Amino acid sequence: MQTLSSAQLLDIWERGRTQSLAERALLLLAAACPETSAEALARLSVGRRNARLLALCELTFGSCLTGLANCPRCGERLEATFTAADIRTSPADESVESLALRVGDHEVQFRLPDSLDLMALARSSDTAAARRLLFERCLLDARSQHQAVSAHELPDEVVQAVAARMAQADPQADVRLALGCLSCGHRWLTAFEVVSFFWSEIDTWAVRLLHEVHTLASAYGWSEAEILALSSRRRQLYLEMVSG
């Protein structure tokens, strides 16, 4: 994995503004992992993909992460600060292509969800339907008393057992943060979505950088490419001279 330049990151930000989170994730990884094909990146399990994105986020913005959340009891706005290491889990075994599970009389074989599955789910507005669609996409084989059955014939208990096994096998796909409200004392778990967090950081950074480019281009007549080629420290020094 390689560090992204300011020009690369700004280009990804512009191209990804109208895309889904899954598509944005693949844009970032394609630029940071040029040695890996687009198809291979798209087929990474969600947890393995998220692990790479967390590492890239750390390379880009540092290991200290800060997020905002609202207390579900009193509505207080909270700021949570943690490190990438705090939410990094043991990686899934990349050599495992499928998993098997027995639930009662049913035997199922399935794979872990990937970015292509998430893109398909993005078109569904019904949560229950989306979960069922994900199960159907990832199901490789299903049998009841050694007879083949379709995904539609499997009971909800099988779907739930498969979802639990997926989460166990690919832990970076579903990271939870333990939060506490200082105002009312309520404590709860909240999901941490690395793609959404990383993109929010990129968006804030890109808007600030474009303001810097505008200021320096207006003051010195430099092109965007010339300004982006400067280190962040040198840009800051020039900005201080312009304002001072």
pLDDT higher than threshold 90 for residue 91: no
Residues 177-233: pLDDT tens digits? 999 999 999 999 999 999 999 999 999 999 999 999 999 999 999 999 999 999 999
Q: What is the pLDDT of residue 127?
A: 85
**Helix 194-220 vs helix 6-16: angle between axes, to the nearest 10 degrees?**
120
Q: What is the pLDDT of residue 168?
A: 93
**Taking a C-beta distance cutoff of 8 angstroms, is the pair 150, 139 a contact?**
no
The mean pLDDT value for 127-139 works out to 92
Distance CA 235, CA 233 (A): 5
Confidence of residue 126 (pLDDT cuts 50, 70, 90): confident
Where are the chain's structural domains? 6-89+176-243, 99-169
Question: In the structure, what pLDDT confidence band is assigned to residue 92 with cuts at 50, 70 and 90?
Answer: low
At residue 90, the pLDDT reads 81
